[in-house]
Structure 1
Amino acid sequence: MAVKEEERTLPLLPLRGLIVFPTMVLHLDVGRERSVQALEKAMVDDEHHILLATQKEIQIEEPLAEDIYEIGTVAKVRQMLKLPNGTIRVLVEGLKRARIKEYVDLEECYIVTYEELAGIDEGDMDTEALMRSVLDHFEQYLRLSKKVSPETYSVVSDIEEPGRLADVITSHLPLKISDKQSILETIDVKARLEKLLAIIHNEKEVLELEKKISSRVKKQMEKTQKEYYLREQMKAIQKELGEKEGRLAEAEELREKLAELEASEDVKEKIEKEIDRLEKIPTTSAEGGVVRTYIEWLLDLPWQRVTVDDLDLAKAETILDEDHYGLEKVKERVLEYLAVQQMVKQLKGPILCLAGPPGVGKTSLARSIARALNRHFVRISLGGVRDEAEIRGHRRTYVGAMPGRIIQGMKQAGSANPVFLLDEIDKMSMDFRGDPSAALLEVLDPNQNNTFSDHYIEIPFDLSKVMFVTTANAVHNIPRPLLDRMEVIYISGYTELEKEQISKSYLIPKQLKEHGLTKEQLQIQGAATLKLIRHYTREAGVRNLERTIGTLCRKAAKQIVSGKKNKVVITAKNLEEYLGPEKFRYGRAEETDQVGMATGLAWTETGGDTLSVEVSLLPGKGKLTLTGQLGDVMKESAQAAFSFIRSRAEALNIDPDFHEKMDVHVHVPEGAIPKDGPSAGITMATALVSALTNIPVSRFVAMTGEITLRGRVLPIGGLKEKALSAHRAGIQHVIIPKDNEKDLEEIPKSVRKDLVFTAVSQMDEVLKLALVRDPYDRENN
């Protein structure tokens, strides 16, 4: 029990990070002005007494009453020494515990009234037992600790007073200030010993744990790897304390992401195993970065995250019409997909191939499909891809390994059911690193792509919900097995009428916006747009047309900014002022019907085009010369036409021995451009007959068809593109094979209205239609 004694007044010296117990003698450095004043007041007193109490927070420079512990120690100032730096070094001896009752003065220094507190040493058996236990535990602590000198035990073991024993041992222990203050505030000696015993026991356990951690770390590391050892020791300590640093923090962060991941149990189990593996890899190991990158890829993939399709047919149709004019077949196919999706609720993603010349809107159409379906859109270009790893990814054993473009695209999409555009699928090639088109077979097979295997990811990924859209200029460049997996939709090109509408509704508003112009500042009249289409662009799509409209916008912007004009109006008459002379002839056939020259129709990857075939007869011995960079198939067509004419020479009123008297030279202009295909057969035959009979070919007739040795006319492909090119070139009459008559329905009505199509099955019919006179009529020839 505590006994209260007479109240006294003493100056107070607040201590920072230090506690003075009774019977302790130690040096203090005093520098604060109030503390110096307190010392001077203490030295005035004969007994040189001062009260020492500790601050609760060490960083407070000018503590208030509430910032200082209530219980401290009355001490005697034994010695004072002023140091050169202005501080005072004091030797103090602790005498008795005291409780601060009241702060009398806070101005110059702290003056307080206090009461002394004295504990009663009962000296019973319990106290003796506690003293022995404290000494025993303290001895064990000294064996484990390197912070306290072993000689300390011999000093404290001779102390017979229980209260003093507790105070001296506490002063030697490296404890927190709060723990030491707790011992100081415990007046009852037996309670003080019990509290000290608990503290020593706890500190001893901490030291044993430190030793255990140190031992475990030493077993893992070599003694020479000091830095490595220190890192591992830190890791082991953090593991015991539960702190989140280093690999532990990484693993915890990844596990939090894993908890939020929408994926199957198999995928989560795989990721969990990889995270466990990452934890065991040393921080300094390069492999840790590789494993972490792999785990992040797995966590970022949309395994089961899907968007909800917008199945409103009317809304989808409106969106498709907003973005594109015409292209009815594609729009119809998308709406069919939505309708079936409504019926069955779950439909495997279709694989569409949009085939057609450049500039017809294949890529932008895929974007519109995604917008209509309310799906995410992702595009990758396959042009020039020649490595199988680009599709399937690299195995993780390689340095710098990463997933293939399909998995990269899925991560970019962020959902398992995007519209995935594989652009320029016909431009892939192959080399010694593998065939990427073969790797795409699994991607584009609806029956296989639900378990697509990427070499990097190593876990099957479900692509069956993806709507794949591919684009190509030429279908014949796509490998047959790959083409077999796709539904091909041909986009042939636009008619003149469609181009006008596209310019008015899409291209002109878009270019005005991009160039910062308004409808009032730049007006392009309809006649000017028509002239633009006919005389400044010749293409299947509208890319050059858009580019030319952009040129007009730039020139108009320059005039407006320079102040020359406030408003620019483009008409058919002033178009040449902005764009220069006309680049193409439109609607102007040859001035006269010419002998030995016929107009054919050709299909190219950029759409349809007209093809002139010229024949010249020279004295010689029947040599057939072919020029104009013709392919093998085209050369064989010329040979077949030549043989057909020789077999019909007499009926055609041609000298049967003409092949022995003259050489024949067949030339196709634009010789720098390679040309091939069988559809120029009847054109070459017509030009040859015209040259040999001296009968002109009608300048208003164009033709397409393959010829046989017997004069049969065989069907060809790309009739729609060829018809559009004839229409652009101002042709009036087109001769086509009989078997292609069914394809006329694909040709727009506006084109069929302006052109006359005649279907033929024999070369004789072609000659009668194309030549200005019937070559079989002997009387008129």
Structure 2
Amino acid sequence: MANQTKRTVPLLPLRGLLVYPTMVLHLDVGRERSVQALEKAMMDDHMIFLTTQKDSDIDEPTQDDFYEMGTLTKVKQMLKLPNGTIRVLVEGLNRGTISSYSNDQGFYEVEVDEYSDSEQKDSELDALMRTLLNYFEQYIKLSKKVSAETYSTVADIEEPGRLADIIASHLPLKIKEKQHILETQDIKERLQMVIEIINNEKEVLSLEKKIGQRVKRSMERTQKEYYLREQMKAIQKELGDKEGKTGEVEDLTMKIEEAGMPEDIEATALKELARYEKVPSSSAESSVIRNYIEWLVSLPWTKETEDQLDINRSEMILDRDHYGLEKVKERVLEYLAVQQLTRSLKGPILCLAGPPGVGKTSLARSVAESLGRNFVRVSLGGVRDESEIRGHRRTYVGAMPGRIIRGMKKAGTVNPVFLLDEIDKMSSDFRGDPSSAMLEVLDPEQNSNFSDHYIEETYDLSKVMFIATANDLSTIPGPLRDRMEIITIAGYTEIEKVNIAKHHLLPKQLSDHGLTKSKLQLKDEAFVDIVRYYTREAGVRSLERQLAAICRKAAKIIVSGSKKRVTITSRNIEEFLGKKKFRYGQAELENQVGVSTGLAYTSVGGDTLQIEVSLAPGKGKLVLTGKLGDVMKESAQTAFSFVRSNTKTLGIDEKFHEKYDIHIHVPEGAVPKDGPSAGITITTALVSALTGKYVDREVGMTGEMTLRGRVLPIGGLKEKTLSAHRAGIKTVILPKDNEKDIDDIPESVREELTFILVSHIDQVLEKALVGEKK
């Protein structure tokens, strides 16, 4: 136990320093209060109390800023330095605790309870001292901050308390830890505390040594690799060998710098290149990184073609390549005009919708030529995997970018005309929904930051002019359709087809088959016959195939020597194309009862549809055949209910449903049929069958009907009207609300047809039904 006495001495506060008993050390004193305290101590008995400030930044400390436990010391020597500070040599004597403060003389004078360590020893203290000395010896071997002579000095100390204090003073401890040791008066507890601290320090030093050795080995290995790599570079340079990785890295570095990438993407590419250089060539990761870098440098980041903003030239190119299609041409020329005025316009997203063979794809190619832009086509037919659009993650084997990024690489510029062919043929399954991935591509507000899973960096698609093509708009999801400007191409009239065949298709086929105009000649009537009797379509693909067949047979005749020149007319066309496949005009040859002609819209354009109704003795059973969809079945039920509720008005037997079974049939039963526009056609055929009145064979009709007989508007009027014209129909009955759509019908067709606008079924029956059957 410690012995206790009281003493009053001046106080000298220390900053960032602590003095243990029996320690001798120099202090530099500069604060005025501290100097006065020293002078007072020198005048008295040279005794002064040293305690540490809790916060070393405080210049004028108060009583609360000191630790209460400190060290009573004796000033051995004092020396004034030239800079005004005083250097003193002090010797620590005993621990002490401040019991009271006095600040009357401008410095603190304190009453201190002084404690001296007991000199009694026992076997436990001896064991603790030996353990501490043993640990301290091991610590000195690990640490380079304490000299070996220090251990010799410490080993001679016999007092256990002093041993703990001296060893603690040599350890790199924080002030709080040193103060905690100072405040521990029990000698055994103090020894155990220092043993624990020094044991922890030993473990820390051992770890530092291991880490240092590991770092050293790593540095040696890195230096060795660097040295060997430099040697390899020098050897390759002397040999002129560029096949190694060094030459490859240099080439890729040059490509990255020349690619014109944005700064952040270039930084990514260089980072990947540094990884590539370190990875062994035999590693699988090496080829993955190489492919990624090559994709980055091969993409166009800034290269673009300058738009040829000459509207007259563009119009000439569009007219040269395509006959008709005025709406599409007008839309492209409008875009050019705005571009010429603003010089900055986000690429429009057009969707050319129409049946096959009307020239959607070739039109997009002509648009690219008229703008002077590169053209790239991507087919989306059958795409059902989202990664086809967005690409695969690089972690997958065989990963590669999506079709959009691949298309941009193929285009080579940031502003091509990008054709998304057959966008309506995309589908979704468990691998994702590609149409949802297309939303970002086709949104002008988002596609400036398009994200591909493989590239990982954002890519700007805002300058691309996207043109999509579709046959059936109904299969395109609503959000995707909303992103695009729909331009409908209905199909061609007979006159347009003849002109296309004469000026576009035939010259191409002559060239493909090695013929000239002098060797094969088609008369005008031959073109008309081919269109009328050998094709029945909205587009011109079948027409082109027929012309190809004529060219092949003509080539055989000329090569065999039979003739040097072949001329095709109406008289000999069957020799080349065989018997006529179609009868011109599908209208009935004579007026019939219970048969009406409807106009339908299909994915390949418009078509005519015969509705047949027959009566048989029965009990009002309604039979529907012809592979009808749910909508057409409901239209038939609606027509049947309308007729039953209006028997008096229509002049029909009120109990007809008790006498007859009614059979409604639409021919070509293998072909699925559906749609809402057959309402008035079914009603007309049903009324005709029940009244015995003929239906005018030259009348075609389209319109949806309500249960009260109102006629509602329909879609696809242009396609339906073209099919009526092809079928030889002279009069078309259509809903009053579709009057605005008549302007979309080509003028040559409008001149040959009579349009009757109706709002109620009574008007339809009045125009369609003629004299009664005898």
TM-score between both structures, scaled by the size of structure 1 = 0.69
Match for residue 391 of structure 1 among 365, 389, 392: 389
Matches within 5 A, 1:203-602: 219=221, 235=229, 237-239=231-233, 243=237, 246-587=244-585, 589-602=587-600
Please tell me the residue identity of whatever aligns with 1:541. Answer: G
Q: Secondary structure at the match of 2:251?
A: helix
1:741 matched to 2:764: no
* SS at 1:532 equivalent: helix
- Which range moved further: 649-658 or 757-766? 649-658
Identity %: 65
Q: 2:641 aligns with which of 619, 640, 643?
A: 643
Determine helix, strand or coil for the equivalent of 1:772: strand
- 2:677/2:704 contact within 8 Å kept: yes
1:63-99 alpha-carbon deviations (Å, 9 max, x no partner): xxxxxxxxxxxxxxxxxxxxxxxxxxxxxxxxxxxxx
Does the 8 Å contact 1:217/1:236 carry over to 2?
A: no
SS of alignment partner, residue 696 of structure 1: strand
1:257 & 1:707 partners in 2: Cα distance?
67
For 2:599 and 2:546, how far apart are their aligned partners in 1? Answer: 26
1:97-151 alpha-carbon deviations (Å, 9 max, x no partner): xxxxxxxxxxxxxxxxxxxxxxxxxxxxxxxxxxxxxxxxxxxxxxxxxxxxxxx
Given that 1:376 and 1:418 are in contact with CA atoms closer than 8 Å, whether structure 2 keeps it comes out as yes
Q: Which amino acid aligns with 1:560?
A: I
The number of equivalent residue pairs is 554
Letter of the 2:286 partner, please give it: G
Q: CA deviation at 1:752?
A: 0.8
- Tell me how far apart the structure 1 counterparts of residues 729 and 686 of structure 2 sit (CA, whole Å): 21
Give, in angstroms, the shift of residue 218 of structure 1: 9.4
Local SS of the residue matching 1:650 = helix
- 1:24-48 deviation per Cα after TM superposition (whole angstroms, max 9, x unaligned): xxxxxxxxxxxxxxxxxxxxxxxxx
Per mean C-alpha deviation after superposition, the further-off stretch among 577-586 and 232-241 is 232-241
SS of alignment partner, residue 651 of structure 1: helix
- Kept in 2, the 8 Å contact 1:235–1:246? The answer is no
Q: CA deviation at 1:651?
A: 1.5
Q: Which letter does structure 1 place at the counterpart of 2:464?
A: V
The structural deviation recorded for 1:248 is: 1.7
CA contact (8 A) 2:376 2:411 kept: yes
Distance 2:670 2:219 in 1: 77
Contact 1:247 1:278 in 2 (8 A): no
The answer to whether the 8 A contact 1:217-1:233 is kept is: no
Structure 2 partner of 1:687: 685
Per the alignment, residue 718 of structure 1 pairs with: 716
Query: Are the aligned partners of 1:603 and 1:609 in contact in 2 as well (CA < 8 Å)?
Result: yes
Structure 1 residue 616 displacement after superposition: 1.0
Q: Give the superposition deviation at 1:259.
A: 2.1
Instruction: State the match for 1:56 in structure 2.
Output: none
Going from structure 1 to structure 2, the CA distance change for 1:593 and 1:258 (only over 3 Å counts) comes to same
- Mapped partners of 1:571, 1:343: distance in 2: 52
Partner letter of residue 231 of structure 2? I
The alpha-carbon deviation at position 691 of structure 1 amounts to 0.7
Separation of aligned partners in 2, 1:532 and 1:218: 86
Is the CA contact (8 Å cut-off) linking 1:403 and 1:456 kept in structure 2? yes
User: Would you say the 8 A contact 1:707–1:763 is kept in 2?
Assistant: yes
Find the counterpart in structure 2 of residue 631 from structure 1. 629
Q: Could you list the per-position Cα deviations for residues 284-307 of structure 1 after superposition, in whole angstroms to 9, with x for gaps in the alignment?
A: 211100000000000000011111
Q: Secondary structure at the match of 1:679?
A: coil
Q: Deviations over 1:733-758 (max 9, x none)?
A: 11000000111001111111111110
Alpha-carbon distance between aligned partners in 2 of 1:702 and 1:217, rounded to the nearest angstrom? 91
Classify the secondary structure of the residue corresponding to 2:695: coil
C-alpha separation in 2, matches of 1:284 and 1:552: 60
Residue 729 of structure 1: aligned partner: 727
Q: If the length of structure 2 is used for normalisation, what is the TM-score?
A: 0.70
Q: Is the 8 A contact 1:238 1:245 kept in 2?
A: no
Alpha-carbon separation, structure 2, partners of 1:446 and 1:319: 27
Where in structure 2 are the equivalents of 1:157-236 lying within 5 Å?
A: 219=221, 235=229
Q: Matched residue of 1:458: which SS?
A: coil
User: Match of 2:592, as an amino acid?
Assistant: Q
Residue 629 to residue 239, structure 1, CA distance change in 2 (3 Å): same
Correspondence for 1:176: none
Give the Cα–Cα distance (whole angstroms) in 1 for the partners of residues 596 and 587 of structure 2. 11
- What is the CA deviation profile of residues 690-743 of structure 1, one whole-angstrom value per residue up to 9, with x for unaligned ones? 111111111111100001100011100000000000000100111000000111
Cα distance in 1, alignment partners of residues 420 and 433 from structure 2? 16
Query: What one-letter code is carried by the residue in structure 2 that aligns with 1:531?
Result: D
Name the amino acid aligned to 1:287.
Answer: E
SS in 1 for 2:394: coil
How much has 1:591 moved relative to structure 2?
A: 2.3
CA positional deviation for 1:233: 9.0
Measured at CA, do residues 357 and 245 of structure 1 come closer, stay the same or move farther in structure 2, by a change above 3 Å? Answer: closer
- Partner SS, residue 750 of structure 1: helix
Q: CA deviation at 1:588?
A: 6.0
Q: Secondary structure at the match of 2:755?
A: strand
SS at match of 1:736: strand
Preserved CA contact (<8 Å) 1:425 1:471: yes
8 Å CA contact 2:586–2:608 kept in 1: the answer is: no
AA aligned opposite 1:655: D
Secondary structure of residue in 1 paired with 2:662: strand
Q: 1:699 aligns with which of 668, 693, 697?
A: 697
| Separation of aligned partners in 2, 1:218 and 1:674 | 79
Gaps of 5+ in 2: 1-216
1:759 lines up with 2:753 in the alignment: no
The structure 1 segments of at least 4 consecutive aligned residues displaced by more than 3 Å after TM superposition are 215-221, 231-236, 239-245
Check conservation: 2:587, 2:597, Cα contact below 8 A: no
